[in-house]
Amino acid sequence: MIDKVLEYIAANEATIRTRYFDFLRIPSVSAQPVHAPDCRRAAEWLVAELTEIGFDAAVRETAGQPAVVASHTGPTGAPHLLFYGHYDVQPAEPFELWTSPPFEPTVAEGPNGQQVIARGAVDDKGQVLTWLTALRAWHAVAGGPPARVTVLVEGEEEIGSPSLDAFLEKHAAELRAAQTVIVSDTNMWDAKTPAISTRLRGMAYAQINLRAASRDLHSGLYGGSARNPLNLLARILADLHDDDGRVQLRGFYDAVPELDPAQAEAWKALNFDEAAFLAGVGLSVPAGERGRSPLERSWARPTCDVNGMWGGYTGPGSKTVIAAEAHAKLSFRLVGQQDPQAVLASLREFVEARLPADVKAEIEVFASAPPVTVPADSPWVAAARRALEAEFGKEAVLVGSGGSIPVVESFRRILGLDSVLMGFGLDDDRVHSPNEKFDWACLMHGARSHARLLAELGAR
């Protein structure tokens, strides 16, 4: 049966691309209220797609953007899988840096053949389409998937999934009937080597707001006398790291374990080319924590990064003011047993200890999620490895991920379910950046891999 399913996918590349482009044209930006109707339109598009292939599908309301839940009974006694994805995308700004309109998908030639350029091309609309295509193929060939399937697609992942925990708790009885979660929102090792991620870094995301004077001041009249919160904020941010790149928050490394020697050797054997990795974004000198290997820094060590800093006058030309306010956004990537709330509390302490008189500080928290390690020896991961090896002709690499997928921890904590992190993105996909892309070969590999995974699990 799997041969016929794969033949169907190959014969329908043109219609797959049409559906993909229709999905990408919906500007479902969850961070911008003006796009709330587009988020709902994306959810409704998914409901229509799933209904067409035999699923009982519906838009479900949350406190924020709507979610989509769909189910297919599958054969009696078959395993029960929960496919997860998100339809929301990052803002496309700055628009002027795109080579084509971000919500009008464009095909270009790349080193691995054709690539589709659009916001959401890989994160996560293209990856959602990989398993949606596999489900459609099984429906066309066999009348439905060889397993019982539940689908959950949310619309707030790009803003930290603020409504998802409550949604999972409300629908726990329905969703925890599944036995595992299948997630495609991660990368392959390279364009020809599949990967399964077994660890995700956690996240703490905050904004520091400093205020000094009651209004912006003339830098000639008040310079040298009035406190400048931008100068102060720059000093505080500079103090966050020492000369070796270690974060200086109290207790920051207390829950960070040293890398197991066997794991270190396994990662060393991957022969990661950090020079090529950096060259792809115009850099040449590694940064970060001194004395750590490249993959250890990315997968097993925590980080602190300033994501934005502003205040005063930033327009064209000059305006000589001492700003009344200064702001910065920071993200922490967390590992081991680090508690995001403890890290945020330590950040507050760090900032407050450096405040002089007349300056007030506020710490806003936008997202937090603990790190996650996924069991690599589960039967679900074993089935995924078999499916990927059959598709690519080589074993899948077990890797870590520098990114965060907070819902994976929520699935475990609320539903008691572990996840299989089987993604098809590449390091050069420009995720969250202008000209985001997805290689067409990766999308098709993903669709076939999910079709094979369904066959593997349906044969259990």
Cα separation, 331 vs 345, whole angstroms: 14
50, 130, 72, 83: which is closest to 388 by C-alpha? 130
The arithmetic mean of pLDDT across residues 6-17, rounded, is: 98
| CATH assignment of 202-263+299-369, among 3.40.50.300, 3.10.20.740, 3.30.70.360, 3.40.1190.20 | 3.30.70.360
Per-residue tokens: 63: 């406190």
Mean pLDDT computed over 426-441: 97
Render pLDDT for 403-420 as a digit per residue (tens, 0 to 9): 888 899 999 999 999 999
Q: How far is CA 210 from CA 237, 249, 331, in A?
A: 12, 19, 18
Q: Identify which of 132, 155, 125 has the alpha carbon closest to the alpha carbon of residue 21.
A: 125
Are 417 and 176 within 8 A, CB to CB? yes
* Widest pairwise Cα distance in the chain: 80
- Could you report the per-residue pLDDT of 266-286, keeping only the tens digit for each? 999 999 999 999 998 899 999
Q: How many Cα atoms occupy the beta-carbon half-sphere of 178 within 13 Å?
A: 31
Burial class (CB in 10 A: 0-12, 13-18, 19+), 48: exposed
Collapsing DSSP to helix, strand or coil, 306 comes out as: strand
**How far apart are the C-alpha atoms of 176 and 163, rounded to whole Å?**
18
- Residue 107 CA to residue 105 CA, distance in Å, equals 7
- Mean pLDDT, rounded, of the chain: 96
Q: Rounded to whole angstroms, how far apart are CA atoms 111 and 279?
A: 15
Query: pTM for this one?
Result: 0.88
pLDDT of residue 367: 86
Token representation of residue 337? 């047993």
pLDDT at 459: 61
DSSP H helices, 125-222, are 125-142, 164-170, 172-175, 219-222
At 344, the pLDDT band (50, 70, 90 cuts) reads very high
Burial of 300 (0-12, 13-18, 19+ CB in 10 A): buried
Q: In which band, very low, low, confident or very high, does the pLDDT at 160 lie, cut at 50, 70 and 90?
A: confident
Angle at 137 between CA 132 and CA 141, to 5 degrees: 150
State the pLDDT at residue 15: 98
- The closest alpha carbon to 91, from 162, 37, 34, 152, belongs to 34
Residues of CATH 3.40.630.10 domain(s) within the chain? 2-200+372-458
**Is a pLDDT exceeding 70 seen at residue 53?**
yes
pLDDT at site 406: 86
In this predicted model, what pLDDT tens digit does every residue of 173-232 receive, in sequence order? 999 999 999 999 999 999 999 999 999 999 999 999 999 999 999 999 999 999 999 999
- For residues 247 and 242, give the distance between their C-alpha atoms in angstroms, rounded to a whole number: 7
Q: What does the pLDDT read at residue 403?
A: 85
User: According to the model, what pLDDT value does residue 416 have?
Assistant: 97
Whether 460 has a pLDDT exceeding 60, the answer reads no
CA dihedral sign of residues 389, 391, 393, 399: negative
Q: How confident is the model at residue 370 (pLDDT cuts 50, 70, 90)?
A: very high
Q: Classify domain 2-200+372-458 by CATH number.
A: 3.40.630.10
What pLDDT does residue 458 have? 85
Domain ranges in the chain with CATH number 3.30.70.360: 202-263+299-369
User: To the nearest whole percent, how much of the chain has pLDDT over 70?
Assistant: 100
